[in-house]
Amino acid sequence: MAAGDSNTISNFIRNIIEEDLRLGKNQGRVHTRFPPEPNGYLHIGHAKAICLNFGLASDYNGLCNVRFDDTNPIKEEAEYIESIKEDIRWLGFEWGDRLFYASDYFDKLFEYAIRLIKAGKAYVDDLSMDKIREYRGTLTKPGRDSPYRNRSVEENLDLFRRMKEGEFEDGSRVLRARIDMVSPNLNMRDPVMYRILHTRHHRTHDKWCIYPMYDFAHGQCDSIEAITHSLCTLEFEDHRPLYDWFINELNIHPSRQIEFARLNLSHTIMSKRKLRELVKDNYVSGWDDPRLPTISGLRRRGFTPGSIRSFCERIGVAKRDSTIDTALLEHCAREDLNKTSPRVMAVLRPLRVVITNYPEGQVEELEAINNPEDETMGTRKIPFSRVIYIEKDDFREDPPKKFYRLAPGREVRLRYAYFIRCNDVIKDKKTGEVKELHCTHDPETKGGSAPDERKVKATLHWVSADHSLEAEVRLYDHLLLKEEFTDEKDGADLKTWLNPRSLEVLYHCHVESSLRDAAPGSRYQFERVGYFCVDSVDSSQDLLVFNRTVSLRDTWARIQRAGQTQEP
Ligand code: ATP
Ligand code: MG
C-alpha cells in the first residue's frame, strides 16, 4: 500500500459502514467514539484507534466522541485524563463538545439495571467472586446455577437498592445478568453487571458504592450516545453477543460493535500495565521517556503528529493480529521530517581540526541552505574559522578500502566551505589517541568546488570551534531486545528483556550557533547524522539537549527493496 492513498482503499469496516448507509440504518448517520480507560498514558496502539475512529467519522461526515471509561474508581487518575486529552489534540483531532465520561451515565445505567431486574433478567447474587468463578464452569464444562439465581423480582430490587445504599460490604454481593449458565460462550454465563466498591470516584465522589462492570457499561454508554459503529479490538469479539444482549433486552439504540486487530509493534510493548510498571519502577524516566511507544514519548523524541497519522493510515485495519516492524514508523517519521526540518550542522563526537593556513582571528560567514527540499525555508550564515570540529568517525589514520573520508594526505570538502587536506595527525603521547588534525585549506575552493575541476570523494559536516555551542545528545535504540514479547511465551518478566543500550548519552557535542535559541520541541536534521529535536524537558539556555528521533539510515526502505526483488 502506498502512502496517503489508504483513505480511498476500502477496508472491512468501511464496507460495513457503507452497507449500513445503503440500508438506511441510523438515518444515514455515522457516529464513532474513542473510549480510553484513564489508567495510563496513550500509546501508538491507541493512536491507531484514534485515527480510525476520528478518520471514519470525518470521511462519512459523521462525529466522533471521546469517552473516558472511568467505571473503575480504583485505577483512574486525573493526570491520565489530562495527558489523554493533550495527546488526542496533539495528534490533530478535535472532539468539540463531545467529551464524555462513562460516569456521566451512572444514573442511567442504574436505571437500566433496575429495568433488567424487573424483567427477570438480572439478579443479586450472594456468592463470593471465587464461588462465582467456580460455578461458571470452563470451556469444556458447563456452568451451574447459583443458588440465588431464582430470587424474586421484589427481593432482587430490594437487595440491589440496599447495595446502592451502602448496606453491604465490598465483595459480599454482585448484580448479575440472568442469561444462560450453559452457554458455550463463557461471557454469557450470567456475567456480573455491578459490584460493591466503597471507593471514592474522581467525578461522582461518594455518591456511589456500586460500580458497573465494563461489559455492562460500555455498550450502554455507546447506546446512550447514539453511537452507530463501536470499534474495538479483537479480544472483545467474544463479548459481542453480550453487547447485543443488553441492547436487545433494554430495547435501546442498537450501536454495532465491530472488532479489528490491535497494533503490535516490534521491539516494544503496548500493554498499559507493563508500561506503568516500567514507569513506576524507574526503568524509564517517565511516561514520556522517548524510548516508550507512548504518544508523549514519541512526541518528546521528535515524531510529528503527521508521521504518526501517516503510519496509522499505512498499517490499515485488519481482522488478524500481527506485529508491525518499528522500522515502518521510523520510515514515516523520516518522510515527514525530510520535508519539514531545517538542516543544521552538528558534530556528535568532535575531533579538533586546525586549518594552519587560515589566518588566526579571521571569521567568514558562509551561506548555507536551510532545506534543499523546500526553497522557501531560505538560507542562513554559518561562521567558518581556523579551528573547527569534524566527526571523529570521518577520519581514519589507516583508511580501509572504500573509506573516502579524511585520512593523512587526503583532501575532502567541508560542506559550504573549502577543500581541506590533512597534513599532520597529532596524537596523545601516552595513549596514541588522535587528538587533533592539522590541515590546510585551498582558498580557491570556497563554496565547494575547485577551479581546476579536481574532485574529492567526500563532503564532511563541521562546526567552528569558537562559535559552536556545546550540547548533550541522547541516542535511542529499541526498548526491548526481543522483537515480539508476549507473556505466554516469554514469561511475565519484561525486565529481563530490556535493551541495556536503549539510551546512549553523548556529552560535549558541538552544534552550530544558529541553534542558540532553538525552542524546546523544535526539530532539525543534523546533516549526515539524523533527525533530532530539542528535548522539551531537560534542554535549557545553559545546555542544549537533543533527542535523536531517527537516524538517516532507512532500514524500512531496505526491507522493502529486499522484498521487491523477490516479488515480480
Ligand atoms: P491496554 O491493554 O494497553 O491497557 P486497553 O485496550 O485496555 O489497552 P483502553 O484505554 O481501554 O486500553 O483503549 C481505548 C481504545 O483503544 C479501545 O477501543 C481499544 O480497543 C483501543 N486500543 C488499545 N490498544 C490498542 C492497540 N494496541 N491497537 C489498536 N487499538 C487499541
Ligand atoms: Mg481497556
Grid cell at residue 406:
579524511
Query: Is 352 known to be catalytic?
Result: no
Given a cut of 90, is residue 38 above it in pLDDT?
Answer: yes
First to last CA, the chain: 16
Q: Ligand 1 atom closest to Cα of 263? A: 28
Q: What is the mean pLDDT of residues 48-64?
A: 97
Neighbours of ion ligand 2 (CB under 5 A): 37
Residue 556 — pLDDT band, cuts 50, 70, 90? confident
Which of 322, 321, 338 shows the shortest CA–CA distance to 330? Answer: 338
Cα(260) to centroid of ligand 2, in Å?
14
| Chain CA centroid to CA 350, Å | 33
Which of 562, 534, 112 shows the shortest CA–CA distance to 342? Answer: 534
pTM for the predicted model, two decimal places = 0.94
Grid cell at residue 397:
589514520
Identify the pLDDT of residue 223: 98
Which of 46, 50, 298, 313 has most ligand 1 atoms within 8 Å of its beta carbon, as the pocket-test mutant? 46
Grid cell at residue 249:
433486552
Identify the pLDDT of residue 536: 97
271 CB within 6 A, ligand 1: yes
Which residue type, as a one-letter code, is found at position 127?
L
Residue 568 — pLDDT band, cuts 50, 70, 90? very low
Given a cut of 90, is residue 9 above it in pLDDT?
Answer: no
Query: Is 430 known to be catalytic?
Result: no
Q: What is the mean pLDDT of residues 250-278?
A: 95
Contact 445, 437 (CB under 8 A): no
Cα(18) to centroid of ligand 2, in Å?
28
Alpha helices in 272-373 (DSSP H): 272-280, 295-301, 305-315, 326-340
Given a cut of 90, is residue 561 above it in pLDDT?
Answer: no
Contact 256, 262 (CB under 8 A): no
Q: What is the mean pLDDT of residues 545-554?
A: 94
Which residue type, as a one-letter code, is found at position 136?
R
Identify the pLDDT of residue 2: 38
Q: Which of 25, 29, 37, 149 is catalytic?
A: 37
Q: Report DSSP state, residue 237.
A: G
Given a cut of 60, is residue 5 above it in pLDDT?
Answer: no
Given a cut of 80, is residue 564 above it in pLDDT?
Answer: no
Contacts of 465 (CB under 8 A, 6+ apart): 352, 385, 387, 388, 389, 510
The torsion defined by the Cα of 100, 103, 104 and 108, in degrees rounded to 10, comes to 130
Q: What is the mean pLDDT of residues 219-224?
A: 98
What distances in angstroms separate CA 467 from CA 346, 365, 389, 436, 510, one per listed residue? 12, 11, 11, 18, 9
What values do phi and psi take at 494, rounded to 5? -60, -30
Contact 146, 190 (CB under 8 A): yes
Q: How far apart are CA 61 and CA 57, in angstroms?
A: 6
Query: Is 274 known to be catalytic?
Result: no
Contacts of 235 (CB under 8 A, 6+ apart): 262
